[in-house]
Structures are given as C-alpha cells and as structure tokens.
C-alpha cells in the first residue's frame, strides 16, 4: 500500500508539472557596451526584420536591470529581432556598404538568451549642390548615387572616422570633379558632406 501511495504521489507531481507548461519561456537579453553590462537600457522585441530596421510595431519592451539584463516572457519557439537603445547608443549601428538586413539578422534571437552590444551612432548627410549627378564612395565601395541638387541622410551610422569621396558622373568637359571628406562622427552627432564645393 505504501508503495502504491508513493507511485501515485510521484505521478501526481509529474502530472502537475506537465500541466503547468503553458508554451511560454523566459528570454534574457543582456546589453553591454565597451565597458561591460549596461543598466537602464530600453530593449524592444520585433517580430519582423522590417519593423526592427524601422523601429516600429514593437511587440514587447523592457528595461535592463542593474546587471544589464532585460527579461521577457515569450512564446516558446518564437523568433524576435532585438533592439536596444540608450541615448545615442544602439545595437542597430550601420556602416556604409552593410545592408540593414545583415544587421537585423545579427540581432535575431531564437531561444532563451542573447547578448547585444550598444554602439555609439550618429547621422551622415550627403548634399549634392550641383545640377550634375555624383557617386559617393567609402574606399572603393559605392555608398550612394545622388542626382543633381538632392541630398540623402544616413541614420544609425557607427560613430568614428568617416572618409568619403564624391565623383561627378556626367556633365563634365574633360574629367569629372572629385571631392573628398574626412571627419569624426560623434555619438548623437551629424556630419554633413556638401559637394562639389
């Protein structure tokens, strides 16, 4: 009889734990920067790459604790894109030539834990003051082509040294006009590269 009661007790406990499985799991996101874990950072979960890139339709949000960890209760097996930001720092930090989709994929979470890195970001503005089109390069990589009298703004750019070269595409007599630009983009700052002057 004692043996039967023990078996029933064990079966009851096992049944209790299996019936409590609600299909949910805890997701822990650790946010860090160059000095370690960062507290009081806003962390958002996005269900699509497009929403992550554009910072819209956030599905869940939390703030990191004193250990730099934000905890979410999510559906098991659900994929999210994680975006963390604090002031002029964000884990969605772009470089010229890197597609936003690649940064989004690097910040995908499919499981119970993920670490994201905050980077200082700023804005780069290209202004073509000529009636002629220009191509803009960083090194040998073309980063933009601007028709005459237009501008283009790049947000969420990695802070640091920015070196660009603008080359006239058409409208020249002997050879194209070429201008270079080099300056340091600061956290939260804006650099404007006007050409051809």
Domain ranges of the chain: 23-117, 121-195
pLDDT in tens, 16-42: 333 356 789 899 999 999 999 999 999
As a CATH number, domain 23-117 is: 2.60.40.1120
> Three-class SS of residue 118?
coil
Q: From CA 113, how far away is CA 97, in angstroms rounded?
A: 29
Same fold, 23-117 and 121-195: yes
C-alpha–C-alpha distance, residues 75 and 24, integer Å? 4
Residue 19: count other Cβ atoms within 10 Å of its Cβ.
8
For the whole model, what pTM was predicted?
0.81
- Would you give the distance in Å from CA 60 to the centre of its chain? 16
Token pair belonging to 100: 């936003």
Domain 121-195 coded CATH 2.60.40: yes
In a structure prediction context, what are the per-residue pLDDT tens digits for the chain, which is 197 residues long?
455 334 334 444 333 333 356 789 899 999 999 999 999 999 999 999 999 998 899 999 999 999 999 999 998 888 899 999 999 999 999 998 888 888 888 888 877 778 999 999 999 999 999 999 999 999 999 999 999 999 999 999 999 999 999 999 999 999 999 999 999 999 999 999 999 98
């Amino acid at each position: 009889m004692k043996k039967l009661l023990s078996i029933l007790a064990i079966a009851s406990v096992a049944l209790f734990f299996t019936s409590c499985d609600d299909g949910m799991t805890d997701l822990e996101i650790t946010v860090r920067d160059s000095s370690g874990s960062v507290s009081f950072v806003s962390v958002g979960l996005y269900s699509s790459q497009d929403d992550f890139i554009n910072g819209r339709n956030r599905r869940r949000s939390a703030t990191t604790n004193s250990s730099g960890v934000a905890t979410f209760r999510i559906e098991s097996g659900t994929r999210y894109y994680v975006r963390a930001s604090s002031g002029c720092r964000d884990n969605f930090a772009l470089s010229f030539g890197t597609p936003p989709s690649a940064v989004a994929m690097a910040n995908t979470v499919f499981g119970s834990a993920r670490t994201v890195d905050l980077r200082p970001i700023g804005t780069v503005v290209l202004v073509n003051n000529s009636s002629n089109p220009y191509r803009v390069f960083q090194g040998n990589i073309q980063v933009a082509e601007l028709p005459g009298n237009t501008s283009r703004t790049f947000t969420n750019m990695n802070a640091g040294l920015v070196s660009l070269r603008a080359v006239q595409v058409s409208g020249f007599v002997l050879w194209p006009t070429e201008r270079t630009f080099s300056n340091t983009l600061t956290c939260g700052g804006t650099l404007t590269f006007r050409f051809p002057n």
